[in-house]
Homo-oligomer: A and B are copies of this chain.
Amino acid sequence: MSARNPDTKAEILRIGKQFIQFYGYNAFSYADIARELNVKNAAVHYHFRGKEDLLMALIDNYIENYQLLAKQLQHSKITAIGKLEKFIEPYSCLCESDSICIIGSIASDYNTLPESVKAKISALIDLVMGMVEQTLAEGKKHGELHFSETARTQALLIMTNLAAGVQLARISGKKDYTIIRKALIKQLKG
């Protein structure tokens, strides 16, 4: 009867990510994922023992993708602004689908998570913040970007604008996100 599907594991990750970004980590169940994929909930447990294993795998994915991006940007000739766009674009996409970034979503449920997840999400943040900081520092050094704070502080300001920007957009409208995004870029260009 049921066609065997070699992609179920990847599909579970895709749907899980979508649910976290759209509903929040504590607002969906394995049954929800199963329903979406037309499998039984035991199938989800087969691929990921529990919800936190799924979350761990998801964060691992993010870390891998950002590490890949880091390598791609390493020796590329694109401008600092161009690099920054690579960090901003995902937020713009999230905004379009009334979703929020996984870090912001997890931050809300942070105190319900096991230490293993907390450590991994912390590692993801360090990775992304480090990349943004470095991009800002380079851009400033080359006279392309302008800001008065340290690169680290400026990275904190920008990323919090984006993260809360998509959250706010959900409630008060996408226009607010756009205002924030444009203001950020304008200020950096000086």
Residues in A lying within 8 Å of B, measured CB to CB: 22-24, 26-27, 98, 100, 103-105, 107-112, 118, 121-122, 125-126, 129, 148-149, 152-153, 156-157, 159-161, 163-165, 167-168, 170-172, 176, 179-180, 183, 187
Contact = CB atoms under 8 A, between A and B. Distances in A.
A164 B104 contact: yes
A156 B171 contact: no
A129 B148 CA distance: 26
A113 to B, nearest CB: 10
A109 B27 contact: yes
Contacts of A23: 109, 111-112
Given A107-B167, A163-B167, A168-B107, A149 B183 contact: yes
A122 B172 contact: yes
Nearest to A125: B172
Contacts of A170: 107, 110-111
A109 to B, nearest CB: 5
18 contacts: A23-B109, A24-B26, A98-B111, A103-B171, A104-B167, A105-B108, A107-B170, A107-B171, A110-B170, A149-B183, A152-B179, A157-B161, A157-B183, A159-B164, A159-B168, A160-B180, A163-B167, A164-B167
Query: What copy number does this chain have within its complex?
Result: 2
A108 B118 CA distance: 18
Nearest to A169: B107
A112 B152 CA distance: 35
B183 A125 contact: no
The 4 closest A-B pairs by CB, nearest first: A160-B164, A107-B167, A108-B108, A164-B164
A167 B121 CA distance: 12
Given A27-B112, A110-B171, A126-B172, 9 more contacts: A23-B109, A23-B111, A23-B112, A104-B107, A107-B171, A110-B170, A152-B179, A160-B164, A163-B167
